[in-house]
Chain A
Amino acid sequence: MSNIAISLLDIEDDASQCLVAEDYQTRVGKWCAGCGDFGALNAIKRLLAKEQLQPEKMAFVSGIGCSSRFPHYVNAYGFHGIHGRALTIATGLKLTRPELDVFVVMGDGDCTSIGAGHWIHATRYNPNLTVLLLDNNIYGLTKNQTSPTTPQGYASNTTPRGSFLPALNPLQATLGVSNASFVAQTADWVPAHLYATLQAAYEHPGFSFVRILQRCPKFTSDVFAEQIKDPDLTELLVHENGVDAPGLDKLFKARREHDPKDIDAARALAQRTDKLRLGMFFRNDSFPVYDEIRAVPPVTVEDKIARLNKEFDRYAV
């Protein structure tokens, strides 16, 4: 794997806090050794501890895939749903229980293929969800089939002579959707950046879409190998309103000032293929949030019955 040592920038757990990162894990993740999903789980655990979230006040919703096993390992409510549909369940949950913190975990097949319709629409609804796309460029669970994000020419069991088409770029697609409010990219092998990105995503009021480039040691161990070996192939997007973490400047020399408010620049950067870019592409906290604009004040049973009676007067004969 990685030749360079990327130090884990462990944030010291405050002794006065009652829950530590380990309290947020229920059981050991059953992923392959070296799977990038572990990194995402670690970052989430740290985030939950940092925020001191109450386990019963949050829910993790996923689809089907290796990555969608995620909720089983988190000490929270979890909904391990069906392939591609996590966002729909999460939207329904958030609409009725806006006080819960709702996280969504999807794989690349899950989100960008079978669930692509929901991905577009959930982006537009902009419910207050923290969304993790664990993108290993392959169908992992079903053993090595081409996904929309598989690089062109890359061989898999379904395209043994190489994938036919240019890969779908989830950042570009998301940034193209009206009302998209938060789009970031990070990588499982840069834990400090991953953690900082998830932190920002959690804080964002709206649909925070985080594409996490994720290593699959079984089927796509080579797709990110170059970038992992040579940090100079990666450019960090930085800005006072972006994501950064101590120590990252030492790892990545290429840093680009990018104002996450600038949608045109974000789209242009998302489109470029010269380098791998990590950072906050776009963020706007003032877009309409679906669960906020649809919030309905509760009505007492007495009022409901009185109103129903009035309604029925209209139909009375």
Chain B
Amino acid sequence: MNRTANSGATITAVPEHTVEIITNSGEGAQKCAQIFGQTCAKMGNGVWTVEIIPAEIEPPAHTVTSTSGNIIRFGTNKITNWGDQSKLAIAFNEQVCLSRHRLDSFEDGCIILHESMWETHEDENIRAAYAEAMQEMSGKNYRFIPVPIEEETLKIVDNAQHGKNMFALGLLTEIYQRDLALIEKQIAHIFKHKSAKVTEVNIELVKHGIAWARENLGFQFDIASVPAEESRVVMNGNQAAALGAIAAGMEFCAMYPITPATSVSHELAAIFENYGGMVHQAEDEIAAAGVALGASYGGKVALTVTSGPGLALKTEFLALAIMTEIPLVVLDVQRGGPSTGLPTKVEQSDLLAALYAQPGDAPKVVIAPRSIEECFHSMVTARRIAETFRCVVLVLTDANLASGVQQFTRPEFDARWQQNPIDFSPLTDGLRPYDWDTETGLSRRVIPGTPGGQHTVTGLAHDEESRVSYDPESNERGCKMRSRKLAVFQSTLMPPPVYGDEEGDLLVVGWGSTQGAIEEAVDRARNEGKKVSTCQLTFLSPLEPGLKEIFSHFKKVMTVEINYSDTVGDPYITEETRRYGQLAWLLRAHTLVNIDCWTSCPGQPLRPNDIYNSLVAKLETGASK
């Protein structure tokens, strides 16, 4: 499928590519990738971009720890995850390249356009480091193409640090035949607060990159696109969650900064007041939960945004919210744990903490959006559930969704999402702030300001009138009513759809952000005739109905999760001592089905290929359930 361009370059048509832009932290990879990704999306390609974030703000430059950048996977069809290995990379030095190589990020034959100046640098140490790195990478069949990135950039600007990224963008523009007009428009948009000169220079750099590539590379790729019929937006999961909170009519967010959740509050802080809302940066996560709870007590459905360590601090307040039946939405953008763990990296290991971290019985709703689009919609759902069921709703996203960028159908805002259903009508005939309907556990929410409604809510065991009562019946009744609400809510859910046939040899069960990668792996297996299906859960508490029935149609059931589980056969690890992945643990307890798990916690999203290998292995070995 090769053609020849006017320039003489060979054009290869491919269904998709994965590209990396890798630099030292602070060299502008993000901007380059953002514009490139947006352009691909605007041209009608499916896109998924992932950030490569160093753990420190300013790590030592030109080292393997300084790698900062982006991965952009784009193709003709919808892209749902970051895929497997990269096919092309632009590297500003060989050390950042080496760090990616060590993570096995490049596929065999990967084209690596790398800065050429280090090889002949005047500093002997730099030359030596360069040679060593190239030696280490020589085992792989990469196609290294040295590019005088800095030298060429300096032809346009005086400081290459602020320009190399745009030159790189030019290279990509030519290689992938991107629409220059779209790129120019985005550059103008990004620099709209700067002088016109800045935009001009940046466009000039892109054009220079294009010209250099045309002159020197001799290859191009053609990735056809299907222009979308519906209107679409492109954003990351934290932006989607922030905008979802606004669209849901939420007006209060209390938070304490923690990666990777913080940017939700940045998005909100920038615009929330235009929507009658506010962000309160509290003194710690406990306070953030308390202030949010106080705001909800006053009649809102408040939001608090955090990540694992912050969730741990909030537990006592979540229990209070559950006990007092005050609606509250908590967004936990999961990162690696335990403790400070992997602050910037993805993991799905807060599931059981989300469900069970509170002492005592503390039923709550837990939802895990499966895509960036669902990060938006789940906030609307969360508010509605919290309010209707007077409960805590915990939304579990993760670092993969938080910083991954994908396009999705532009939502149509519904005025009903914004409704403030607070009823201030006087309570006349006898107040019962927990006037539980004995069937459903539901009761009217009475908030301050309601005439005749005065009562004291308490975290102590209480009766229908919110009076502290320690008698056995009251405590049992309170527990029952709070739990009943979950069952009632569950009765409104549908069984989760099965992707693939509804029966077969293996069912792979995932939750949250891994949907795209799991489905891609399952597609691959199915194309080879393997009888594999998958089912991705969104509701973790209560679990969606019908799971046992779904599982019964498969010979084997296995979860795939980004968290830790023991491997039988390792020292001391037997079927008896083995600790399971968190979803597997939950599903085993829930269904009494012998569910296996394949988990991994590499600090990065799962790769379809790794999942594929795991399910092939499961098909070949291991007992049936």
Contacts and interface: CB of A to CB of B under 8 A. Distances in A.
A85 B286 CA distance: 8
B448 A100 contact: yes
A317 B234 contact: yes
A37 B415 CA distance: 49
A302 B297 CA distance: 26
B291 A95 contact: yes
B329 to A, nearest CB: 14
Contacts of B280: 91-92, 95, 294
A90 B294 CA distance: 6
Contacts of B299: 96-97
A296 B282 CA distance: 18
A64 B252 CA distance: 26
B456 A72 contact: yes
Given A80-B459, A117-B284, A315-B234, A308 B297 contact: no
A97 B277 CA distance: 13
Contact of A81 (B228, B273, B320): B320
Interface string B35-60: 00010011000000000000000000
Contacts of A296: 251, 273, 276-278
Contacts of B287: 85, 88, 117-118, 121
A168 B497 CA distance: 61
B410 interface: yes
B458 A304 contact: no
Interface in A65-122: 71-72, 75-82, 85, 87-97, 99-100, 117-118, 120-121
B243 interface: yes
Contacts of A273: none
Contact of A78 (B276, B320, B457): B457
A57 interface: yes
Nearest to A306: B413
A297 interface: yes
A77 B295 contact: no
Nearest to B235: A315
B404 to A, nearest CB: 14
A268 interface: no
The range of chain B's interface size is 35 or more
Nearest to B454: A55
B451 interface: yes
Contacts of A120: 283
Interface string B320-331: 100010000000
Nearest to A78: B456
Most chain A beta carbons < 10 A, residue from B38, B317, B456: B456
A301 B415 CA distance: 7
Contacts of B284: 117
The range of chain A's interface size is 35 or more
A85 B27 CA distance: 44
Nearest to B42: A317
B526 interface: no
A56 interface: yes
B71 interface: no
B450 A80 contact: no
Interface in B301-343: 302, 316-317, 320, 324
B239 interface: yes
A120 to B, nearest CB: 8
B247 interface: yes
B449 interface: yes
Interface of B: 38, 41-42, 228, 231-235, 239, 243, 246-247, 249, 251-252, 254, 271, 273-278, 280, 282-284, 286-287, 289-300, 302, 316-317, 320, 324, 407, 410-411, 413, 415, 418-419, 448-460, 467-468
Given A296-B277, A308-B243, 17 more contacts: A26-B454, A55-B454, A56-B454, A77-B449, A79-B457, A80-B457, A91-B280, A91-B290, A92-B297, A96-B298, A97-B449, A100-B448, A299-B275, A304-B276, A305-B418, A309-B413, A317-B228
- 8 closest Cβ pairs, A-B complex: A92-B294, A88-B290, A78-B456, A92-B291, A89-B294, A96-B298, A77-B448, A315-B233
10 contacts: A56-B451, A92-B298, A95-B291, A96-B295, A118-B287, A296-B276, A299-B274, A301-B418, A305-B418, A309-B413
